[in-house]
Amino acid sequence: MTDARKTFLIAGLALVLLVPIIAGAGSGSDGSALFAKMKCTKCHDPKVKKTGPALQTIAAAYKTPDNLVRYFQGKSEPIVEPARAKTMKPRRRKLARLKAEEQEALAAFILGFKK
């Protein structure tokens, strides 16, 4: 195999491996990063109730990504602590404006804490 061919194959392999990484870098589809960026950590902890319920509690109540995404979109009523839902209203408006893929990624992240 010639040096030029080796270089071409290595460059092609690198491109195949890097394109998915580069494409996903700015997509906002990382639920963990989105959770932090939206400052959800101020009120929610994975295991401990803070101002808001623990992620384990949320995950147990909503059970599926669709249920949680519907809540983000304002298409369903809150299941966890419905009496305190008013405190979440400003955040819910921001959640509703996220792209569908971001809502799904955030839901998947939260549901990852299901016991």
Q: CATH code at 91?
A: 1.10.760.10
pLDDT tier, 3 (very low <50, low <70, confident <90, very high otherwise): low
- Whether 4 is in a domain gets the answer no
Report CA dihedral (36, 97, 26, 105) to the nearest 10 degrees: 60
Smallest CA-to-CA distance from 91 within 17, 34, 19, 20 is with 34
- Pull the structure tokens for residue 2: 């010639």
d(CA 42, CA 52): 9
Structure confidence by residue, pLDDT tens digits, 42-83: 999 999 999 999 999 999 999 999 999 999 999 999 999 999
Length of the chain, please? 115
d(CA 100, CA 65): 12
> What percentage of residues in the chain have a pLDDT greater than 90?
73
- Whether 90 is in a domain gets the answer yes
Tally of structural domains, the chain: 1
- Whether 54 is in a domain gets the answer yes
